Amino acid sequence: MSPLRIPFPSVLMSICLLFVLAACGTTSQTPAASNSGGKTIEVVAAENFWGSIASQVGGSHVHITSLIVDPNADPHAYEPTTANARTIADAQYVIFNGAGYDPWMDKLLQSNPSSGRKELNVGTFNGKKEGDNPHMWYNPDYVTAVTNKIRDDLKGIDAGDASAFDQTAQTFLTTGLKQYHDLIASIKAKYSGVPVGATESIFSYLAPALGLNLITPYSYLKAVSEGEDITAADEATVEKQVTQKQIKVLIYNSQNTPNNIQALINKAKASGIPVATITETLTPANASYQQWQSAELEGIQTALAQATGK
């Protein structure tokens, strides 16, 4: 989705005022590292996909609040509310994507400082910066790394429940994600090297994990994801790949289908190219990370089977 840099001075002023009032009316938070076993850790996730993972790693020892839960919301352009500010001010652990994906989180955190709060910038953790592909939750290796990082952070906050966090994280990685990894392995084994197209960079991490040959120019994928103008050369290349059936399947983000993308989807269908959908956030909103991803992988697998006859 396009990263609309929408200023929100009125919201920011409200957030600052809220923090001042909160500081006057409550005691400062206990430093996170001193939390003992048996307590519930207040965790805030900017995006619900990271919130889903944190919830499964933390189990009964965490209370998760995800700020973005609406599948139709644009995470880039989200405008925090005073309720969000209150939640951040009370949080012991905050997880956000970073890498330019949710720039509003930086302002929200700065306006509501807490010496006892631990923060995980997923982009920074994975060595990503603004301008890099921020869709790290579509990279299986990053998902594993972030899961282990969340586990370690929770152990640092609540050392008394360290063994529980070890167990829940391991259960999530081995049992919770089993179907997800099985589908990835199955697609890679059967369809490795198959040329496919996509409409956004959201698929750029997953394609190589599946062994697929994503031939859409990355400059095209990035432009669509960031709401920038697509070059005439890229537009012509992508259209040629569709009309000449150089791709076997087209994968598109169903949460972002402006007129030019919908036209491309229609051309793919008219050319007999199967299409598959992915989304930027949990769909439906109450799905777990693995339910959401597995359903998408099944859709991709079905499209590949239709395209190749395998």
- What CA–CA distance (Å, rounded) separates 166 from 240? 50
CATH of domain 179-308: 3.40.50.1980
- Quickly count: other Cβ atoms within 10 Å of residue 273's Cβ: 23
13-59 pLDDT, tens per residue?
343 333 333 333 322 223 333 344 568 999 999 999 999 999 999 99
Torsion angle of C-alpha atoms 175, 176, 179, 184, degrees rounded to 10: -100
Identity at 253, one-letter amino acid code: N
pLDDT value of residue 169:
99
CA 274, 280, 283, 287: dihedral to nearest 10 degrees?
120
Q: Which residues contact 256 (CB under 8 A, 6 or more apart)?
A: 1, 2, 199, 200, 224, 225, 280
Cβ(64)–Cβ(45) under 8 Å?
A: yes
Which residues in the chain land under pLDDT 70? 1-38
Predicted pLDDT of residue 74: 82
Query: Which residues lie below 8 Å from residue 82, measured CB to CB, with a gap of 6+?
Result: 11, 14, 15, 18
Task: Give the start-to-end residue ranges of the domains of the chain.
Answer: 9-176, 179-308
Q: In what order do the strands lie in the sheet with 195-198?
A: 213-214, 195-198, 249-253, 275-278
User: What's residue 38's pLDDT?
Assistant: 66
Query: In this structure, which amino acid lies at residue 194?
Result: V
Strand partners, 119: 94
pLDDT given at position 88: 97
d(CA 60, CA 83): 24
Length of the chain: 310
In this prediction, residue 75 carries a pLDDT of: 84
In tens, the pLDDT along 199-232 reads 999 999 999 999 999 999 999 999 999 999 999 9
Q: Please determine whether the domains at 9-176 and 179-308 fall in the same fold group of CATH.
A: yes
Which pLDDT score is estimated for 50?
A: 99
Percent of the chain with pLDDT over 70: 88
73, 79, 53: which is closest to 64 by C-alpha? 53
Level-2 CATH architecture, domain 9-176 = 3-Layer(aba) Sandwich (3.40)
Question: The whole model's pTM is what?
Answer: 0.87
